[in-house]
Amino acid sequence: DIQMTQSPSSLSASVGDRVTITCRASQSISSYLNWYQQKPGKAPKLLIYAASSLQSGVPSRFSGSGSGTDFTLTISSLQPEDFATYYCQQSYSTPPHFGPGTKVDIK
């Protein structure tokens, strides 16, 4: 199985901050890396697929980069509605494991 790790596990930030979350795979997954946002009591929402492709309807302040084993999700200017937990997920092989999540809360 390919294991996924994320850092940090949580962070506190202010509105307008630039936020970067890192995801690492235990072996190369090419660009088969996806990012989701989940707010409390809600279903996850796809933000980024194939490492850097922005899902339709997702604000352009979200961006993804990386390939191989190291990936990042960047929020260029944090907005109040962005406070949530973010998960990466590899879709290179089965089982398509998720990372443990990064909780972004208000500073």
Partner 1 sequence: EVQLVESGGGVVRPGGSLRLSCAASGFTFDDYGMSWVRQAPGKGLEWVSGINWNGGSTGYADSVKGRFTISRDNAKNSLYLQMNSLRAEDTALYHCARLATYDSSGYYLSWGQGTLVTVSS
Residue 36 beta carbon to partner 1: minimum distance, rounded to whole angstroms: 7
From the list 10-18, 57-65, 75-83, 90-98, the region that binds partner 1 by CB under 8 A is: 90-98
C-alpha 70/C-alpha 82 separation (Å) is 23
First and final C-alpha spacing in the chain: 36
Radius of gyration of the chain from its Cα atoms, rounded to whole angstroms: 13
C-alpha 11/C-alpha 44 separation (Å) is 19
Residue 71 interacts with partner 1 (CB under 8 A): yes or no: no
Residue 84 interacts with partner 1 (CB under 8 A): yes or no: no
Q: Which of 14, 16, 81, 94 binds partner 1 (CB under 8 A)?
A: 94
C-alpha 13/C-alpha 18 separation (Å) is 8
Residue 46 interacts with partner 1 (CB under 8 A): yes or no: yes
Residue 57 interacts with partner 1 (CB under 8 A): yes or no: no
From the list 13-21, 23-31, 38-46, 62-70, the region that binds partner 1 by CB under 8 A is: 38-46
C-alpha 16/C-alpha 7 separation (Å) is 21
